[in-house]
Amino acid sequence: MEDLRNVLELKDVSVHFGGRSGLFGNSGAVVKAVNGVDLEVRKAETVALVGESGCGKSTLSNTIVGLQAPNSGSVKISGEEVVGADRRKLNDIRRKVQMIFQDPALSLDPRSTIGATIGEPLLVRGIARGKALEKRVADLLTQVGLRPEHADRYPHQFSGGQRQRVVIARALALEPDLLICDEPVSALDVSVRAQILNLLVALQKRMGVSYLFVSHDLSVVRHICDRVVVMYLGRFVEIADRDSFFANPKHPYTRALMSAVPEADPIAQRSKQRFILQGELPSPANIPSGCAFHTRCPLATEICSKVRPELTRRDDGAVVACHHA
């Protein structure tokens, strides 16, 4: 019945904020951060979630790890329903999904040795202690390319790239099925970025972990992901396999994003056809009618401001929400 190959299943998930009267009077507008999204992530698959700041990608990540309750919809991790689960159940489910963030310096306790940091989830859950814990920590450090003797050091003794390795080791301690990577390399220098990307790919091959990779860097996305999801103002506008996504992007917003990313090649970059979006992302408290993108879309016609396009499947398997693409 349940498809166990899916480590994540989202069904019609919505997350709204505000809209109630608060301490400072009526806060009025409802911010519709996430609006009816469906998504599946398969075992050992990497799915990229792409969009501008304010599109709802962080709210969605928080909802998946259980830091934010959705207003409606269903979130299943490895077949287990998160929404409405009791504490014990939730605790159980949570070990299957872990998260890493952009800035490793802010994710580590400066006063704990990294051995203690990596071992903490194992200790808290009573999975290992004493010598066994030490051995497991040493093993995790080796897995992420650090050395067992690093366990006694503190975060400040490491570089940014090494700290991100520590964060990854901690996230993997409980052997999760799904790792949510929120801009995991954008705070790192270019040469270090490549090391961390190589590590993530190697760990996936070795452990079969799935990634939901939140990023705005399309060159990184193209490198690491199997499928790409584009989000605009709380809704998915395009979902496609990596190859068809990059070879034949369909939604005008996707095409604008791609043309906005500067390529590291002066000839290609200066001769490419530019398709620069005018204006900025509208406020999620005041989402435009019809297709939310119509205010910035070069293809927009009358229907776009009136009727919201549904996600429909195209010949090459891509799913797109646009009247004209």
Closest CA to 43 of 224, 208, 225: 208
Tally the C-alpha atoms within 13 A of residue 302's C-alpha that lie toward its C-beta.
Answer: 0
Binding of residue 224 to other proteins (CB under 8 A): yes
**Which of the stretches 30-38, 148-156, 269-277, 317-325 binds other proteins when contact is defined by CB under 8 A?**
269-277
**Which of the stretches 65-73, 168-176, 188-196, 206-214 binds other proteins when contact is defined by CB under 8 A?**
188-196
Q: Give, as ranges, the residues between 38 and 97 that touch other proteins (CB under 8 A).
A: 52-53
Q: What are the distances in angstroms from CA 318 to CA 123, 265, 325? A: 44, 29, 11
Q: Give the nearest distance from C-beta 223 to other proteins in angstroms.
A: 4
Closest CA to 66 of 91, 43, 49: 91
Binding of residue 235 to other proteins (CB under 8 A): no
Among positions 87, 190, 273, 315, the unique one binding other proteins when judged by CB under 8 A: 190
Tally the C-alpha atoms within 13 A of residue 106's C-alpha that lie toward its C-beta.
Answer: 6
Binding of residue 274 to other proteins (CB under 8 A): yes
Binding of residue 102 to other proteins (CB under 8 A): no
CB of 72 or CB of 219, closer to other proteins: 219
Binding of residue 260 to other proteins (CB under 8 A): yes
Residues 250, 247: Cα–Cα separation, whole Å: 10
Binding of residue 270 to other proteins (CB under 8 A): yes
3-state DSSP percent of the chain in helix, strand and coil, to 5: 35, 25, 40
User: Which amino acid is residue 24, in one-letter code?
Assistant: F
Residues binding other proteins: what is the number (CB under 8 A)? 46
Binding of residue 264 to other proteins (CB under 8 A): yes
Q: Give the nearest distance from C-beta 101 to other proteins in angstroms.
A: 17
Binding of residue 170 to other proteins (CB under 8 A): no
Among positions 277, 318, 319, 321, the unique one binding other proteins when judged by CB under 8 A: 277
Binding of residue 314 to other proteins (CB under 8 A): no
Among positions 269, 286, 289, 312, the unique one binding other proteins when judged by CB under 8 A: 269
Starting at the edge strand found earlier in the chain, the sheet holding 97-100 runs: 97-100, 178-182, 210-214, 46-50, 227-232, 235-241, 319-320, 312-313
Q: Give the nearest distance from C-beta 89 to other proteins in angstroms.
A: 35
Among positions 87, 126, 131, 191, the unique one binding other proteins when judged by CB under 8 A: 191
The answer for 199, left when phi > 0, alpha when psi is -120 to 50, beta otherwise, is alpha
Binding of residue 128 to other proteins (CB under 8 A): no
CB 175 within 8 A of CB 5: no
List all residues 6 or more positions away from 203 whose beta carbon is below 8 Å from its beta carbon.
143, 144, 168, 172, 209
Q: Give the nearest distance from C-beta 77 to other proteins in angstroms.
A: 24
CB 199 within 8 A of CB 171: no
**Which of the stretches 23-31, 89-97, 190-198, 206-214 binds other proteins when contact is defined by CB under 8 A?**
190-198
- Contact residues for other proteins, defined by CB under 8 A: 52-53, 159-161, 189-195, 197-198, 201, 216, 218-220, 222-226, 242, 246, 256-257, 259-270, 274, 276-277, 279-281
